[in-house]
Amino acid sequence: MTDSCVSPAADSRSLSAAAARDRMVAEVTPITGHTFVPVRDALGRILAAEIIAPYDVPAHDNSAMDGYAVNFASLAAEGETRLTVVGTAFAGKAFSGIVGAGQALRIMTGAVLPGGADTVIVQEVTRVEEGAVWVPAGQRQGQNTRHAGEDLARGQVALAAGKLIGPAELGLIASLGLGEVAVKRRLRVAFFSTGDELASIGQPLAPGEIYDSNRYTLHGLLTKLGAEIVDMGVVPDRPEALEAALVEAAANADAIITTGGVSVGEADFIKQVLAKLGEVRFWKLNIKPGRPMAFGKVGKAWLFGLPGNPVAVMVSYTQFALDALHRMSGLDPLPVRPLLTVPAANAIRKQAGRREYLRGQVVAVDGHFAVKTIGNQGSGVLRSMSEANCFIVLPEDNAGVQAGEPVTVELFAGVY
Ligand code: AMP
Ligand code: MG
């Protein structure tokens, strides 16, 4: 493939969506710096160092069921076996004796398996009489027991560095008795909207103005990412103002996200300002929506110059910026984003030659899933993102879809 990462002077070629994403991920590097937080506060953070299990989890062999602990050798191969009950073990209250031949111990789930016992009989299949229990044939040696270290063995890597800490990890860390964990510092992301037409909430709209929505969408996206956000407001379409804003952003953040001004209009100054300030490439991605995009460095900060149209912002963010931001944050490995194949509920018109991200809604029809397109697919129609629950991703060579034909979708859930 030819090098389609082009300089501002020769930006007419198109870069494929996959190539753009890969290039961004490859160029950025994880930030350094970590902090210690109490376990609960680690939710949504990224582990800065691996956690080694300091001891076995569970710490002892124990019972997986309520029933009777026995030595398998005590059981007759056929018919019932009568065993003498020698005591009771509770979770947290072990039986100190040994279970001998012809004996059984009443045992509760989680109770330590006593010496001499290797098998647990669930109470439901037993028959109890004064001081004894009858066990039917057909038991398996070792059944209904859990072994020390079967969840985590002492010395084993319980969680690797770079792991996103979710609910399961909080519990796992707690199961090791750890009160604090080292997490990566949060990625600092500065962002601003560009455009003379943008009014801020609380101001009445002058003729031709619209309220700035991108900054709020980005607030949501970046908060969900777990970033520390620096909201720099709206910057007018003047080169000096853009330059000042970019210099300030670069001094305060690991990454900068701008929206608008990356196209070829007469008020699109981002390009000329960036040519002066940093090493930034302008891409025309062969996708819809979200064709123009800037990526590169201003000072030490990575810049993601997203388009202005609100839907295009969300497409470029999720499809291109997000994985690079994940990598910068220290997430390792990058999350797998499953693509599902479902039949289209309706026909879809499309031109071959570019990848399209349509807003879709996966719905259940008679117990089967299908995806329908949201009515207005305009890149300025943010309502389509709100009504949708997925992108329908139509590849470059697709030239239209008929109802019932399988298409690829990426569910929003788990992506942003
Ligand atoms: P631009 O790329 O700057 O030409 O913007 C493309 C379209 O997106 C124009 O219709 C803009 O008015 C609109 N737009 C740009 N920024 C925003 C924003 N922050 N909020 C809502 N719409 C925007
Ligand atoms: Mg603009």
Domain boundaries, the chain: 17-33+186-329, 34-57+150-184, 62-146, 339-411
* Cα–ligand 1 centroid distance for 115 (angstroms): 73
User: pLDDT per residue over 77-112, tens digit each?
Assistant: 999 999 999 999 999 999 999 999 999 999 999 999
Considering only CA atoms, which of 74, 135, 81 is closest in space to residue 100? 74
Cβ atoms of 233 and 200 closer than 8 Å = yes
- Closest listed ligand to the CA of 196: 2
Q: What does CATH list as the number for 339-411?
A: 2.40.340.10
- The reply to whether ligand 1 has any atom less than 6 angstroms from the CB of 307 is yes
Counting from 1 in the atom list of ligand 1, the atom nearest the Cα of 197 is: 12
Place of tokens 């003379």: 196
Ligand 1 atom 16: the closest Cα is on which residue? 308
Token couple for 30:
């994880």
Ligand 1 atom 3: the closest Cα is on which residue? 260
- The reply to whether ligand 1 has any atom less than 6 angstroms from the CB of 318 is no
Ligand 1 pocket: which of 235, 273, 309 to mutate (most atoms within 8 A of CB): 309
Q: DSSP states of 181-228 as a string?
A: EEEEPPPEEEEEEE-TTEE-TTSPPPTT-EE--HHHHHHHHHHHHT-E
Ligand 1 pocket: which of 192, 210, 258 to mutate (most atoms within 8 A of CB): 210
Give the rounded percent of residues in the chain with a pLDDT score beyond 70: 97
Question: In the 8-state DSSP scheme, what is residue 73?
Answer: G
What CATH topology corresponds to 17-33+186-329? Molybdenum Cofactor Biosythetic Enzyme; Chain A (3.40.980)
Separation between Cα atoms, residue 211 and residue 220, nearest integer Å: 17
Separation between Cα atoms, residue 282 and residue 270, nearest integer Å: 10
Cβ atoms of 89 and 111 closer than 8 Å = yes
* Cα–ligand 2 centroid distance for 306 (angstroms): 11
User: pLDDT per residue over 284-314, tens digit each?
Assistant: 999 999 999 999 999 999 999 999 999 999 9
- Averaged pLDDT, 3-27: 68
Residue 17 is predicted with a pLDDT of: 84
Residue 13 is predicted with a pLDDT of: 54
What CATH topology corresponds to 62-146? Molybdopterin biosynthesis moeA protein; domain 3 (2.170.190)
How many whole angstroms from its chain centre is CA 89?
A: 42
Counting from 1 in the atom list of ligand 1, the atom nearest the Cα of 215 is: 19
User: pLDDT per residue over 38-49, tens digit each?
Assistant: 999 999 999 999
Cβ atoms of 182 and 47 closer than 8 Å = yes
pLDDT band per the 50, 70, 90 thresholds, residue 282: confident
Residue 340 β-bridge partners: 409
Q: What b/e string do you get for 283-297 counting C-beta neighbours within 10 Å, with b at 16 or more?
A: bbbbbbbbbbbbbbb
Residue type, 264: V
User: pLDDT per residue over 346-391, tens digit each?
Assistant: 999 999 999 999 999 999 989 999 999 999 999 999 999 999 999 9
Counting from 1 in the atom list of ligand 1, the atom nearest the Cα of 292 is: 2
* Cα–ligand 1 centroid distance for 308 (angstroms): 4
* Cα–ligand 1 centroid distance for 238 (angstroms): 15
Mean pLDDT of the chain: 94
* Cα–ligand 2 centroid distance for 353 (angstroms): 27
Residue 268 is predicted with a pLDDT of: 86
User: pLDDT per residue over 241-258, tens digit each?
Assistant: 999 999 999 999 999 999
34-57+150-184 has CATH 3.40.50.1980 classification: no
Separation between Cα atoms, residue 152 and residue 130, nearest integer Å: 40
Residue 272 is predicted with a pLDDT of: 86
- The answer, yes or no, to whether residue 7 has pLDDT greater than 60, is no
Residue 12 is predicted with a pLDDT of: 41
Residue 6 is predicted with a pLDDT of: 37
Considering only CA atoms, which of 161, 165, 159, 170 is closest in space to residue 44? 165
- The answer, yes or no, to whether residue 76 has pLDDT greater than 80, is yes
248 by Cβ neighbours in 10 Å (0-12 / 13-18 / 19+) ranks as: middle
pLDDT band per the 50, 70, 90 thresholds, residue 283: confident
Residue 9 is predicted with a pLDDT of: 35
Residue type, 304: F
* Cα–ligand 1 centroid distance for 27 (angstroms): 28
**Sheet of 301-306: strands edge to edge?**
14-15, 279-285, 292-298, 301-306, 255-259, 188-194, 228-235
* Cα–ligand 2 centroid distance for 293 (angstroms): 13
Q: Tell me, yes or no, if the pTM score tops 0.75.
A: yes
